[in-house]
Amino acid sequence: MEVVICSDEQQVGRVAAERVIKRLAGITTPVLGLATGSSPIALYAELARRAENGDVDLSHGLGFALDEYVGIAPTHELSYRDTIRRTVVEPLRMSPARVRVPDGNAADLKAAADEYDRAIREAGGVDVQILGIGGNGHIGFNEPTSSFGSRTRVKTLTQRTRDDNSRFFATGEKVPTHCVTQGLGTIMEARHVVMVATGAHKADAVAAMIEGPVAAMCPASILQFHPSVLVVIDEAAASKLTCADYFRHIEDHRAEVGA
């Protein structure tokens, strides 16, 4: 796992965007895996700036969001469908018809989740999966104890995740109890993973993911088995890493080994 420690959120966004662009170079129909939430906002803003400059063209690209709440209207501004439209599709100049979000309102949620998983495969798989990490170590909405082999499916959100995400919802509005999320097995099939995390509230989860044992209680730790993961974090999110100096040393000397 490659770990880059940055001074602040803006640098996290720039470093992560640079790598996403590099990974997509030369691919005619790039397929992006898309996280929502606060973490990738600076990354998407930088990608948007680079798309405007012509450094990257995603107009022919495909996108697959990681997850969606169950039972939330697709037009609700906190639905992940609408969030992805506002923060990704429009600023990155992607084609709305080519960016999918799991259907949290399907009459048959299981069938819709299975079809979503198949659609990712039929698109040739995800080239670059952008991830955030929950304070409890979730990726997508794969909460602790999720199966490492799981595919896109309905999950029950933990109270911690509902509490964490209540900051987005208006007072009195309830955070949905369920979601549809790509599984850990689905995420692991992406060719490259770029994860971003900022803030001290992510420090425990980041340390468990990078340095802890691979364990169902930290779903993100499965990424230790993935051959191409870049983790871009700020100093606060890196504060519980025992190997932080080692990661800084690698970055400082990268050019010397031609990496």
Give the residues lining the site for ligand F6R (CB under 6 A). 35-39, 66-67, 132-134, 138-141
CB of 196 to ligand F6R, least distance (A): 8
Contacts of 117 (CB under 8 A, 6+ apart): 151, 152, 182, 183, 186
CB of 208 to ligand F6R, least distance (A): 14
CB of 149 to ligand F6R, least distance (A): 18
Q: Between 25 and 150, whose beta carbon lies closer to ligand F6R?
A: 150
Known catalytic residue: 245? no
Q: Between 109 and 197, whose beta carbon lies closer to ligand F6R?
A: 197
Which of these, 155, 149, 221, 232, lies nearest to 189 by C-alpha position? 149
The residue from 9, 68, 117, 136 that is catalytic is 136
The Cα 11–Cα 187 span in angstroms is 25
Angle at 176 between CA 167 and CA 193, to 5 degrees: 75
Known catalytic residue: 211? no
Known catalytic residue: 67? yes
The residue from 9, 143, 164, 234 that is catalytic is 143
CB of 210 to ligand F6R, least distance (A): 16
Cβ contact 83:36 at 8 Å: yes
Q: Which two tokens stand for residue 231?
A: 């983790």
The Cα 19–Cα 213 span in angstroms is 27
Q: State the CB neighbour count (10 A cutoff) for residue 38.
A: 14
The residue from 138, 164, 192, 234 that is catalytic is 138
Q: Between 134 and 183, whose beta carbon lies closer to ligand F6R?
A: 134
Q: Between 235 and 251, whose beta carbon lies closer to ligand F6R?
A: 235
> Which position has the token pair 């506002």?
86
Annotated catalytic residues are 67, 136, 138, 143
